[in-house]
Amino acid sequence: MNSAIKLLKDSRSARWIVLLALSIPMFASYFFDDLFTTISHIFQNPQMLDLGWSISDYGFYGGAYSLLCVWGGLVICGMLLDKWGVRITGSLFVGLMVIGSIIVVYAISESFSQSALALWMGKFFSKPSLALAYAGCAIFGLGSEIAGVAVTRSIAKWFKGKEMALAMGLQLALARLGTATALIVVPRLVNINQSYVPYSETSKPAVVGLILMSIAIVLWGFFVLMDSKFDKQTADEAKRNNTQTVKEDKFKFSDIFKILGNKHFILVSLLCVFFYACIISFRRFATTIIIPRFEIDSEIASLMVSLIPFSTMIFTPIFGSLVDSKGKATRFMILGSFLVLVSHLIIAFAPGNPIFGYAGIAIMGVAYALVPAAMWPSVPKIIPEKNLGTAYSLIYWIQNMGMLLVPIVVGIIIARTTESVADPVEAGVRSAVNAEYFFILLSVIAIAVSFILGRSSDKNPQLALDVPNKKRK
């Protein structure tokens, strides 16, 4: 008589250990991506920086994250993910994430500015450090996004029929702890002026980010071992039961057109790009906007902006658990989209008292928890499991179009407004409000898309978008 093998994923402790190993690389990724978020205002005075970048240069650098993602990288890599699996593809792109971060750290270091490479690049670029950092950020961005897809797909695999939305919510919460850590720690790292710290103001936090990347790659290796053991257990269980393991169909190029022909997938993708642009792109310029808008200093601004990730850390697991047990995912998306509009209206038009700034940012954080907690677990309901890697990659691809363009547009809005107003105080306030007009427009579009998705879900109950994720025992 054959006794059943207890699969690793059926062990609650094993599932959560795997989740932790998957989440730490994303923590490191978010920290590195948000290195300059709370110090974006320093780029308005490039003459004061060793780096010499302007606010427009910073916006240009921020857009690099999405460059390779937009130009087909995400889609191609999503195909590889479905063809090769999360272990091989994920390892490759976690490695790229680390390589990209190394390039960025070197590009903004004093070592590069005095190197032969900098002299050679100076023949082609007016700011060699910006050019090399742009390339590094592009490589880091592609690696980070595909690593994120691999993490999401792995969670869907390990938590299928269990606490999937809660697990995805916790992963997002821990990843955004990376953002929160960057928001609080980076301004203090920049202000370290001790002689034993041999780095410029922008290099100091970048080196810390690189250390976190090293830890991330070790934990990813641990996940690979666990996942390999789980697949072996699955195969052994099938042998003992005299059954065959269900092998995923090989990826076919036509699968892309099937996915893109799914109207619910398109709606989720559009919501993703407009909603995330309202928060992620805002966060890149947050201190540039809220410092003049609410007349606060940079340290208070960094604490204020940190409410975004701290709110999501608290509320994303809660909302994820509610989606698992109660359903109503599309209603969560509608509410979250509405709240992000409210937050930008407060930041743009409320009185200049800092209390309104805190309120607006806190509401934005709650919105940032609501939508992802409901949106990401909905994708496996509308796309077959064998195509999830490609589907998530396509969503990230569409999202990254916004992440590429929006920072550039916002940087231009701020730069041109600042140039057109003589008084620096008035210029700061006006540029902040003008940038907010743009974010308000994006918020309105996000609300419209979420309403359409909700109506479509009501008309197609077989998709079970608003049905609880967790199977009842």
CATH code for the domain of 121 = 1.20.1250.20
Q: How far is the C-alpha of 256 from the C-alpha of 75, rounded, in Å?
A: 9
For residue 285, what are the contacts with CB-CB under 8 A and spacing of at least 6? Answer: 40, 59, 407, 410, 411, 414, 435
Residue 199 falls within a domain, yes or no?
A: yes
Residue 241 falls within a domain, yes or no?
A: no
Per-residue pLDDT at 335: 96
Please check the confidence at residue 49 and state whether its pLDDT lies above 70: no
Mean pLDDT of 218-227: 92
Please check the confidence at residue 197 and state whether its pLDDT lies above 50: no
Q: How far is the C-alpha of 396 from the C-alpha of 144, rounded, in Å?
A: 11
Say how many Å lie between the first and final Cα of the chain, rounded: 26
pLDDT tens track for 12-48: 788 889 999 999 999 999 999 887 766 666 666 655 5
Residue 255 falls within a domain, yes or no?
A: no
Mean pLDDT lowest among 6-20, 125-139, 346-360: 6-20
Residue 119 falls within a domain, yes or no?
A: yes
Per-residue pLDDT at 224: 93
Please check the confidence at residue 318 and state whether its pLDDT lies above 60: yes
Dihedral (CA of 323, 261, 384, 90) sign: negative
In 159-202, where does DSSP find H-type helix? Answer: 164-190
Per-residue pLDDT at 120: 92
Mean pLDDT lowest among 168-177, 239-248, 269-278: 239-248
Mean pLDDT of 77-95: 83
Residue 468 falls within a domain, yes or no?
A: no
pLDDT tens track for 341-356: 999 999 999 998 999 9
Per-residue pLDDT at 198: 42
Per-residue pLDDT at 2: 46
pLDDT tens track for 441-459: 999 999 999 999 999 988 8
Per-residue pLDDT at 436: 96
**Residues 140, 97 contacting (CB under 8 angstroms):** yes
Q: How far is the C-alpha of 357 from the C-alpha of 340, rounded, in Å?
A: 14
Please check the confidence at residue 60 and state whether its pLDDT lies above 50: yes
Per-residue pLDDT at 356: 96
pLDDT tens track for 230-257: 888 877 776 776 655 555 555 566 777 8
Please check the confidence at residue 226 and state whether its pLDDT lies above 60: yes
Per-residue pLDDT at 269: 93
Q: Which of 289, 306, 7 is nearest to 183 (CA)?
A: 306
Residue 422 falls within a domain, yes or no?
A: yes
Average pLDDT, the chain: 84
Residue 85 falls within a domain, yes or no?
A: yes
Please check the confidence at residue 273 and state whether its pLDDT lies above 90: yes
Tokens encoding 246: 């269900």
Per-residue pLDDT at 314: 86
Q: Measured between alpha carbons, how far is residue 399 from residues 113, 275, 321, 393 in Å?
A: 34, 9, 25, 10
Per-residue pLDDT at 363: 96
Per-residue pLDDT at 107: 87
Per-residue pLDDT at 287: 86
pLDDT tens track for 377-401: 888 888 887 777 778 878 888 887 8
Per-residue pLDDT at 3: 47
Residue 210 falls within a domain, yes or no?
A: yes
Please check the confidence at residue 1 and state whether its pLDDT lies above 50: no
Work out how many domains the chain is built from and give that number: 1
Please check the confidence at residue 78 and state whether its pLDDT lies above 80: no
Per-residue pLDDT at 320: 85
What pTM was estimated for this model as a whole? Answer: 0.72
Please check the confidence at residue 50 and state whether its pLDDT lies above 70: no
Range of the domain at 199: 23-233+261-463
Mean pLDDT of 131-160: 88
Q: How far is the C-alpha of 448 from the C-alpha of 446, rounded, in Å?
A: 5
Please check the confidence at residue 227 and state whether its pLDDT lies above 70: yes
